[in-house]
Chain A
């Protein structure tokens, strides 16, 4: 049991002040903009919820939302099992575990705008290692004009970028399991599947929740990489939610962009809220 002390807020002040300045104030500002038609900062008209109505009823928004949801679903289905698999193999790999962890962490330190560039260079049929290999094998990889190929490229690239996070967090959960559990399971003659289901999965559930949340939100709002690859093309096939928003900001349509921001924020917040509910803020509760 932790003591109940409101004086602890004094310790929270610096962090709370920073979060208020960079988070809460801008968010309130976005909400305010979203209710106005903004020609310039001097020329602002109240329009109420018109922007919201326009966005929510537009078929373009529905299409982008569908694409973003599909992309997130594919990303989670690919990266989470793959990451857990690698993490399971890492357990008991001794000193090699550290080497592999360092390796998968590498893409995490690449600046985001460089990632698309590196991959485009890699698959270039003339100069890229993979591009040349594909061309030699007679496989036409047409990421510029074939929607499926653009998607494949995005998913592979995103997996390259983020698999490290999944592996690191899953491994963190696994390394907290005492060897006694495995010994007990061996004595009971438990199958590998049973060991995973009843020993490993509960232990990595916490970090895995964080992974699911972070990977969902980041892939759902993918912008920098997707835009650099094909600017939403071909024929809108990779036109995700964040790209819509980026276009509106670039087009100086601030009121509408703000309303769109609020819609996205509400979607994200709903997911976070559901996540917190499902995990029941359980860690907090149990500790008390």
Chain B
């Protein structure tokens, strides 16, 4: 009984702590926060959301963000899956160094590499396009994808592969037809983490969009000015949370499993 009370109390405190800033944002997003004709400041209204829908710069930024995030997830899973399979099943020259490299780049702060990446991408014509951002976000997402996928693949016994090869499957056909379905939850979890880390990243997304292709985060920054419509900013923030919320719901039962490491 004492345990139950403790649990309820702690969970309630955690919920309050987590939800408080979100609640404030949510409430403000439904308020008219600028003096407008026929409206009292602080009046409940959907005007902020209507303003978002009416502003092509804002709706466009949502589309831009979605494009590079989805592209990034595809890249990370596409390049990560074969690598994770190789690391899980074989030893080879430099495998440990490669893992160290992944770890090193995962934890390298973006601001450290931002300058040369801008110059490199400008020369390669990858500035102002979603492709550039999708690519550069692989710096920290590809390692995550490889780790998570590797741990899921290693949980599958090797006999599973051998049976498929005896049945005459080639390696690509085995990867696509057998391995992918077998580790579907792992792909879901990897996609989840790649999605959210790419969605929330600001430094690279800012420097790689000089004139066009602005992501949602930069569109929100651009809303600050002489007379900031806080309600609109908050509404945009709420919109920016929706894809993440969807992803959380999507992987809710597997979210912790991606990291079950066999010690």
Whether the Cβ atoms of B109 and A15 lie closer than 8 Å is no
Is B28 at the interface (CB under 8 A from chain A)? yes
Whether the Cβ atoms of B241 and A110 lie closer than 8 Å is yes
A20-37 interface (Cβ within 8 A of B): 21-27, 29-30, 33
For B83, B103, B107, B117, which residue has the most chain A Cβ atoms within 10 angstroms? B107
A220-241 interface (Cβ within 8 A of B): 221, 223-224
Of all chain A residues, which has the CB nearest B8?
A96
The answer for the CA separation of A8 and B83 in the assembled complex, in Å, is: 8
Can you spell out 18 A-B residue pairs with CB atoms less than 8 angstroms apart? A6-B92, A12-B82, A19-B105, A21-B120, A22-B135, A22-B136, A101-B252, A108-B196, A109-B241, A109-B243, A111-B217, A111-B220, A112-B201, A113-B221, A118-B21, A172-B259, A223-B109, A283-B262
Cβ proximity bits A143-162 to B, threshold 8 Å, 1 near / 0 not: 00000000000000000100
Cβ proximity bits A12-55 to B, threshold 8 Å, 1 near / 0 not: 10111111011111110110010000000100000000000000
Cβ proximity bits B55-94 to A, threshold 8 Å, 1 near / 0 not: 0000000000000000000010011101101110111110
Q: What DSSP secondary structure best describes chain A's contact surface?
A: helix
Q: What DSSP secondary structure best describes chain B's contact surface?
A: helix
Partner of B102, one of A19, A98, A122, A128: A19
Whether the Cβ atoms of A8 and B220 lie closer than 8 Å is no
A105 cross-chain contacts in B, Cβ below 8 A: 248, 255
The answer for the CA separation of A257 and B207 in the assembled complex, in Å, is: 16
Of all chain B residues, which has the CB nearest A213?
B107
Residues of B at under 8 Å CB distance from A?
Answer: 6-7, 10-11, 14-15, 17-25, 28, 75, 78-80, 82-83, 85-87, 89-93, 95-96, 98-105, 107-109, 111-117, 119-120, 135-136, 138-139, 142, 146, 154, 196, 199-203, 216-217, 220-221, 230, 233-234, 237, 240-241, 243-245, 247-249, 252-253, 255-263
Is A70 at the interface (CB under 8 A from chain B)? no
Of all chain B residues, which has the CB nearest A223?
B111
A265 cross-chain contacts in B, Cβ below 8 A: 108, 112
The answer for the CA separation of A18 and B74 in the assembled complex, in Å, is: 13
Whether the Cβ atoms of A15 and B24 lie closer than 8 Å is no
Expressed in whole angstroms, the minimum distance between the Cβ of B119 and any Cβ of chain A is: 7
Whether the Cβ atoms of A14 and B82 lie closer than 8 Å is yes
Cβ proximity bits A86-118 to B, threshold 8 Å, 1 near / 0 not: 100100010010101111111111111110011
| Chain A interface size, under 10 / 10 to 19 / 20 to 34 / 35 or more | 35 or more
Partner of B138, one of A6, A18, A89: A18
The 10 closest A-B pairs by CB, nearest first: A109-B244, A29-B116, A221-B109, A15-B83, A11-B86, A172-B259, A14-B79, A11-B82, A8-B90, A8-B86
Whether the Cβ atoms of B14 and A121 lie closer than 8 Å is no
The answer for the CA separation of A3 and B162 in the assembled complex, in Å, is: 13
Partner of B93, one of A9, A26, A102, A217: A9
Of all chain B residues, which has the CB nearest A204?
B263
Of all chain B residues, which has the CB nearest A93?
B7
Whether the Cβ atoms of A249 and B114 lie closer than 8 Å is yes
